[in-house]
Structure 1
């Protein structure tokens, strides 16, 4: 996303993006870990390179959560926070577990999961370069 600063220059805004695991980052295979969704890790890496902070936001807890976090780390993604709004937040049951994020990416949206290519296009207002699309495939813009 872009905005103008006080001097009229275009600057990218850093977004806080909460991302579900099962059915979104990987195919739903709970309690096992499914196969990675096409372009999931490439898109998340690109979003991080663009300066956005990613939160893993999942129903998983305990050992199953640790496995998901490790699976993502093994695929090059370290999250800003996990099931919390910021790294130091401690869930004590006294306040809502609802987290603060600019966007939530989840397969349980109305209409289902739209795919990682479309997610990136919506978040960045970018579309794939036509030359790259014809030569290397629709999602080649993620590999810049």
Structure 2
């Protein structure tokens, strides 16, 4: 799979333009995904020196991305669209927020095998221990836990 991954708020806590503290298991899961031959693209608002800091941060921890803010390494950012072609986008701004990285890994593994409810793996049902840990979201606060 081609997986586009945000940096701030996803791999590290949101402290832009600084680099925040690491989010637990993000680097470990990204390394595992690369070992499983997934194509990882760093997809971030960062550009120039700030982008290079993020690339270096990840590389120093063992995560090498195929491309950065582009579909291919040789793509000219001035000529290319910022719209990426990916099978999956991992971003803290997703509807429902950023799931736990271990849950994301299980969901990606389920996607590869097919036929599993990825949403239940990521966000769970009320009986799911991962779901019980999640904070109440905006809509749950407004409309209850239906």
TM-score calculated relative to the size of structure 1: 0.74
Find the counterpart in structure 2 of residue 11 from structure 1: none
Please, which of 96, 103, 119 is the counterpart of residue 88 of structure 2? 103
Segments of structure 1 that go 5 or more residues without pairing to the other structure are 1-14, 127-137, 139-144
Segments of structure 2 that go 5 or more residues without pairing to the other structure are 114-129, 131-146
* Aligned residue-pair number: 112
CA distance in 1, matches of 2:46, 2:98: 19
CA distance in 2, matches of 1:108, 1:21: 11
CA deviations over 1:107-141 (Å, ceiling 9, x no partner) = 00011101211110110028xxxxxxxxxxx9xxx
Matches within 5 A, 1:36-55: 36-55=22-41
Shift of 1:32: 0.5
TM-score calculated relative to the size of structure 2: 0.73
Find the counterpart in structure 2 of residue 22 from structure 1: 8
Q: Does the residue aligned with 1:54 lie in a helix, a strand or coil?
A: strand
Cα RMSD (Å): 1.5
Find the counterpart in structure 2 of residue 56 from structure 1: 42
More off after superposition, 29-38 vs 95-104: 95-104
Structure number with the higher helix fraction is: 2
Please, which of 69, 81, 84 is the counterpart of residue 83 of structure 1? 69
Find the counterpart in structure 1 of residue 19 from structure 2: 33
Shift of 1:88: 1.1
Structure number with the higher strand fraction is: 1
Find the counterpart in structure 2 of residue 10 from structure 1: none
CA distance in 2, matches of 1:102, 1:20: 14
Find the counterpart in structure 1 of residue 108 from structure 2: 123
